[in-house]
Amino acid sequence: MDSQPLVSICIPTYNRSEYLRLSLERYIREPEFLSGCVEIVISDNTSTDDTGVMVQGYINKYANIRYFRNSENIRDRNFPLALSRGRGKLHRLCNDTLQIQQGHLGELCRAVEKYQHEKPFLFFENGGMGQQEIACSSLDEYVKNISFFISWIGGFSLWHEDCIGLESDTADCGLSLWQVRKSCEMAGSRRSIIIRKLFCTVPQLKSKDVSYGIFKVFHGNMLAILRRYGGGGGIAEETLAWVEKDLLYRFFTQYLVLAECQADKNLVYGEQENLHMAIQRCYGAKDYYEDYLAFYKKELRKCKIEMLVKAIFHWEQNKNTKVFQWGKMIFRKLLAKN
């Protein structure tokens, strides 16, 4: 390719050949990829599975897929390195598990064409009905709108000029949240735009290892990074308090519920962390803690009811239509009460 692509999809990966292949299959169907407006850059952290062989098959067919294999596993330093390897006008950091929806690359390219002269900090949040563009004029406004999703690498992007020499910009890689610090730097120095639309799905992993300690990383490391910008640094103290509360209600609770009712047997927890104890220790003195416990119990009941009814449906759906309808009616009544 002689001309500069509009977008570089930069994918750091490690031992996820199966999921990366599914992800690539979605990209290569899009007209913007086939026309060369989008390139895919894969930065492999010395995978021991067949990632290299699998990707080579795509490279043989498509000139705008480029593959790099690191000499060693550099862990999260692979994030800035992957971004530095792109050539497009916008470098988009993406998980190796994301399966984009049809038309997303077109929307991405249109966003680049729209903002390529101003070059605001762009973050692509996966959610919401329709498409919303939220313009933020300060770091505080950005954090208020993005909350803990600031940690998601799948929404992070930088313009080409901001990626020059980025491979050496590795501060906070050891905290597993390089992208949080870099997001704060960018949103604190220029206007930011949050583009909110449901653009991808993430397949259920056969084993989702959270034994690294999700509470330590997100409540400890992430909030510590954000607090550097507290007060006069650009983020108001009330905003930091709100993010901490939002983490509890919308992030930690999902893991507590899934583990408690065993709704997701693929989650792998480490013995070094007990989420219940960590939450009680750090949130127990908050004025909303008692209300939270009631909220958690309600979410847990809903999960257990849903699992029970799904089990009944699965067993009865091909045997007895009346039982199926009865179970459906009970399910609706139970949810209405909760």
Q: What is the pLDDT of residue 1?
A: 43
Pairing of strands 157-159, 208-209: unpaired
**pTM score of the predicted model:** 0.89
Tell me the one-letter amino acid at 271. E
Pairing of strands 65-69, 38-44: parallel
- One pLDDT digit (tens) per residue for the chain, 338 residues: 458 999 999 999 999 999 999 999 999 999 999 999 999 999 999 999 999 999 999 999 999 999 999 999 999 999 999 999 999 999 999 999 999 999 999 999 999 999 999 999 999 999 877 779 999 999 999 999 999 999 999 999 999 999 999 999 999 999 999 999 999 999 999 999 999 999 999 887 776 665 567 888 999 999 999 999 998 899 999 999 999 999 999 999 988 888 777 655 665 666 446 788 889 999 999 999 999 999 999 999 888 888 777 766 665 554 455 555 555 666 666 666 65
Q: How far apart are CA 227 and CA 175, in angstroms?
A: 14
Pairing of strands 121-125, 90-93: unpaired
Q: What is the pLDDT of residue 104?
A: 96
Other CB atoms within a 10 A radius of the CB of residue 130 amount to 7
Q: What is the pLDDT of residue 162?
A: 98
- Residue boundaries of the structural domains of the chain: 7-201, 208-286
Tell me the one-letter amino acid at 9. I
CATH hierarchy code of domain 7-201: 3.90.550.10
- The torsion defined by the Cα of 11, 17, 18 and 19, in degrees rounded to 10, comes to -20
Q: How far apart are CA 63 and CA 196, in angstroms?
A: 31
